[in-house]
Structures are given as C-alpha cells and as structure tokens.
Amino acid sequence: MSLARSLGRSVLAGVIGLVAGFTVCAGAEPAAVLDVAKFSAAAVGQTLPEGWKPLTFKKIPKPTRYEVVKDGGAVVVKATSEAAASGLIKEIRIDPREYRVVRWRWKVDNLLQRSDVTRKDGDDYPARLYITFEYDPDKIGLSKKLKYQAGRVIFGDIPIGALNYIWDTRTAVGSIVENAYTDFAQMIVVESGPQKVGVWIDEERNVYEDYKRAFGEEPPFISGVAIMSDTDNTKERATAFYGDIQFVRPGQ
C-alpha cells in the first residue's frame, strides 16, 4: 500500500490535523535530541506505545498487528502483516531546519516478492518510516497551492508533502521515486535486497536535505511520524521490528 494511498485514505483524511502533544516550542532552549519514539521504555505486551495511535483504513478490513516485544535484548515494536495494512502514527511539530536528522533502527524478517515502488499494485513494503509536513500557504507556489486545495476538498485536512523511507526489494539504495499515486509523496529507498534481512540496522537521514532533493524547495514544519508494514496489495506476509526514533540537531 502506498503512502499516497494511505494519505488518500486516512493520513490524507485527517491523521495529521491540528498537532497535539509533541511540539517544539518557540522561545525555549532547544534540546539536542528529541525522542519521538521511546519504544525501548514501553512495557512488553502493550499493543500501543504511549503517545502513538493506530493508523487504520476504512476500505482495508484487516489491519497489521503491532505489539511491544523484546528482541535482541531491547524492547521494540513488532509488526506482523498478512494481506493487511495499518500503521502507528504520532503527531508532532518540529522545525526541520533546527532538527535536520532523523535516526531510527529497524529489522525485517523477509522481503515482499511482488513489491514494486513504481506500481500502484506493488506499493507494499515490509517496513517504512514516513514523515509528513504541514501546509504553509506562504511558502508554496500558486500551482501547488491550487492542487493542495483541490485535494482538501476530496480528502479533508492533509499534509502538503511526505517523505517515505522504505525497505524495498530491488530498487537501488538512495533512489528517490515519486509515489505511484501522487507527487505529494516521495519514496526514498533506505535499504534494498536480502543482504541485511534478519539484522538490526541503525539508520540516519538528513530530512532537511532529503526534502529539498525530493521536492526542490525548503521544507515546512514536520507534522507527523508514522511506522507501517503493509501487504494489502501484494497479499504477502511481512514481519518487521521498529526501535526508537529520534530527531537530532546538526553535529549531535
């Protein structure tokens, strides 16, 4: 399932609305690190880590199952998806100029054989981390503004853009691919192929630079972070694990 498709179903339908709970306040001394997901502090057996909520889709009857487990000595979130799709999301508000880097760790137990980042019917991934951005009418051009306003008529409150960091099956690492459903979302291949399957991987991406490369403009504020493992298009099975997620200031 594509981020754009999810945007069209739920993220676009208002998952990223008025931000509550996690906001970097102007005027306060900024911390060096922002812990957006402290899954390692959760209690084993929980189905919903504190501060996170389900991202489900009305037209998809079977959701991915999420649970807090212990793996490799650490407490993490486990996702099991069998011809299913849903995610976990946290609403935030972070300035990507201040906190440019996102760090996280993840592991997948298998790849999806029919996954294809260029096709709508192949837009499933065993693991993804996506970051959404809020609408700022003063910072976008007229044509994009009109397209965005048309989208709101159809879908309601939506983010102006999203970066979707994915673990793909065959696309080259580092590729940035326009989402198969909409150019409001860009797919960035962080891992690809079977070489690291079954191994915990620490990731680090410069969100600020990725947004500029993907969209050709300065990024607005970050409005949300989600994790998702989905297999509703390919009808396959995927198991993935997600560790803590942080945003950090440059040089940290």
The dihedral built from the CA positions of residue 89, 90, 94 and 100, taken in this order, carries a sign that is negative
CA 58/CA 159 separation, integer angstroms: 19
**Total-model pTM:** 0.84
How high is the pLDDT of residue 9? 42
What backbone phi and psi angles, to 5 degrees, belong to 215? -115, -10
How high is the pLDDT of residue 14? 38
How high is the pLDDT of residue 20? 39
Token pair for residue 168?
Answer: 């793909």
Contacts for 175 with CB less than 8 Å, ≥ 6 apart: 117, 187, 188, 189
Give the DSSP letter of residue 182: -
How high is the pLDDT of residue 153? 38
The series of mean pLDDT values per 10 residues for the chain, 252 residues long, is: 46 37 55 95 91 87 96 95 95 95 98 94 94 73 54 46 94 93 87 97 98 92 95 96 96 75
Q: Which CA distances in Å does 230 have to 19, 28, 157, 190, 242?
A: 25, 38, 23, 17, 14
How high is the pLDDT of residue 111? 98
Contacts for 142 with CB less than 8 Å, ≥ 6 apart: none
Give the DSSP letter of residue 151: H
How high is the pLDDT of residue 192? 97
CA 24/CA 101 separation, integer angstroms: 15
Domain boundaries, the chain: 3-201+210-248
Give the DSSP letter of residue 72: T
